[in-house]
Structure 1
Amino acid sequence: MAAEPPHRLALLGGGFSTDDDGLLDDWVLAQARGPRPKVCFVPTASGDAPAYVEQFRTAFGSRPDCEPSVLHLFRRELDDDALRSFLLVQDVVYVGGGNTANLLAVWRTHGVDRLLREAYGLGTLLCGISAGANCWAEGSHTDSFGPLTYLTDGLGLLPGSVCPHYDSEPGRRPSYRAAVAAGNLTAGWAVEDGAGALFTDGVLTEAVTRAPGAGVYRVEPDGSGGVREQGLPCRALTPSSSPPRR
């Protein structure tokens, strides 16, 4: 009997939509199975914004080290069987940023949440930035409803909660810490812009950074009404540490 593949997902604090160096995207591709992975961009959280899709196509379309594609759900072209077949052959599913609550609602309407669970179980690497990082956890810190708040109905593939933009958006850090301290969100992971975190079978296996000072944090209740925040060691990404961009 074949061994079950590892279940992997990555939280990104950057990538093609925010960075010029491509280091986080190179790191993602280096984690993918196979020499020329199929990479599907899912821009649901932005409403399939054309400009966002074009950014992805520009960044990945000329790369010889992957096979890029895009899954549109606001102008869906695939029936249920074709959608399942399409998603289950992907090596990487790369989810874009936007509105986390809307993303989850649309996925559930189309059954994409179930298909992504299936793909994850088969070894597909799931990853994303902002809403595309939030969606994998049990809960997340979000501005989906306007003010910063918490959302507790994520996909739950990653135990605990996630907070993106931990250093770059005013109010993120204290608001997330308060939600964890109050028990509104379970203990979790905070990712600063420029950093990334890889989880294998729900366990953190690597944290990386493309920007000096950017990091990944574990945030937990301290048992006395506050939180403990632990900065985690991050490997610095450099052009020589990742496959070259062509």
Structure 2
Amino acid sequence: MAVIPERRLALLGGGFSTDDDGLLDDWVLDQVRAPRPKVCFVPTASGDAPAYVEQFLAAYQARSCDPSVLQLFRRDLDDDDLRTFLLSQDVVYVGGGNTANLLAVWRAHGVDRLLREAFEHGTLLCGISAGANCWAESSHTDSFGPLTHLSDGLGVLSGSVCPHYDSEPGRRSSYQTAVANHALPAGWAVEDGVGALFTDGQLTDTVTRTPQAQLYRVEPDGDNGAKEQALPCRLLVPAHQPTPPA
């Protein structure tokens, strides 16, 4: 009988582009069983910004993995090679930027369908900011300037996602309002520093690189408002430091 691979997705509130300690990047790689994981960075949301690509390569070439970059604004691969390339990856890491533009470009190139296929075959999908938003059915975004809702995500994660829940003015109140009035479905609010792993649609691990950062479940409260539930996060520490007692 064929083994059905786990479908896994990670929402990131940090990583190589924002943090110096590399804890969330190491945590991502720890989720992969391959001795040298293939990790593809997809910087579409930033318009394939060269500096962003350089940051990724500097961070991941220093790790035990085989990093690569998929650039769509100067695409080299035909459809068959693009499919082969994406389905060969152990990790697809999507960068931040503009969520709406990201989804539009992916759909123009068929990358949305290929990432769904990779997900079903066991590739770990992850990302920060727009790269976290894109996986959900809906998201809280500033893609259009003011904070608003976007309802046409890839839907590999049910519900909605809000990044930068603690660090950008207006995020918390705006997301709660959108959930309360059903502009967005119930979902996950990610503070900076947090990583959340979903396996087959269920939350299976929550970690943080800073003691105060949390993941929240935000739902309508049944009284025209919204309620948030803070979920416990395991504190990540550098490999040379002992794990703090629980």
Using the size of structure 1 for normalisation, the TM-score is: 0.97
Q: Deviations over 1:180-200 (max 9, x none)?
A: 000000000000001110000
Report SS of the residue matched to 1:240: coil
Matched to 1:3, the amino acid is V
Using the TM superposition, give the Cα deviation of residue 34 of structure 1 relative to its aligned residue in structure 2, in angstroms: 1.0
Root mean square deviation, CA, Å: 1.0
Structure 1 segment 143-222 matched on structure 2, within 5 A: 143-222=142-221
Distance (whole Å) between structure 2 residues aligned to residue 231 and residue 3 of structure 1: 35
Tell me if 1:27 matches 2:23.
Answer: no
Look up the equivalent residue of 2:229 and give its one-letter code. Q
Equivalent residue number for residue 55 of structure 1: 55
CA distance in 2, matches of 1:222, 1:3: 40
Aligned to 2:117: 118
Count residues in correspondence.
241
Q: What stretches of structure 1 of length at least 5 have no aligned partner?
A: none
Q: Distance in 1 between matches of 2:76 and 2:240?
A: 39
1:75 match? 74
Per-residue CA distance 1:166-192 (angstroms, 9 max, x = gap): 000000000000000000000000000
Q: 1:43 to 1:196 in 2, by over 3 A?
A: same
Structure 1 counterpart of 2:6, one-letter code:
P
What CA deviation, in whole Å up to 9, does each residue of 1:96-140 have, x standing for no partner? 000000000000000000000000000000000000000000000
Q: Letter of the aligned partner of 1:185 in structure 2?
A: L
Shift of 1:228: 1.4
Measure the CA separation in 2 of the matches of 1:73 and 1:168. Answer: 30
Residue 35 of structure 1: how far off its partner (Å): 1.4
User: For the residues of structure 2 that align with 1:206 and 1:58, how far apart are their CA atoms?
Assistant: 27
Describe the shift of the 1:241–1:192 C-alpha distance in structure 2 as closer, same or farther (beyond 3 A): farther
Within 1, Cα distance between the matches of 2:33 and 2:123?
8
Distance of 1:16 and 1:62 partners within structure 2: 12
- What SS is found at the alignment partner of 1:169? coil
Secondary structure at the residue paired with 1:41? strand
Distance (whole Å) between structure 1 residues aligned to residue 141 and residue 238 of structure 2: 32
What residue is the counterpart of 1:103 in the other structure? Answer: 102
* Unaligned segments of structure 2, at least 5 residues: 242-246
Give the Å deviation of 1:241.
8.3
2:88 paired residue number: 89
1:45 matched to 2:70? The reply is no
Counterparts of 2:32 and 2:145, CA distance in 1: 35
User: Distance between the aligned counterparts of 2:57 and 2:36, measured in 1?
Assistant: 16
Distance 1:103 1:33 in 2: 29
**Which is further off, 42-51 or 30-39?**
30-39
Number of the residue aligned with 2:239: 240
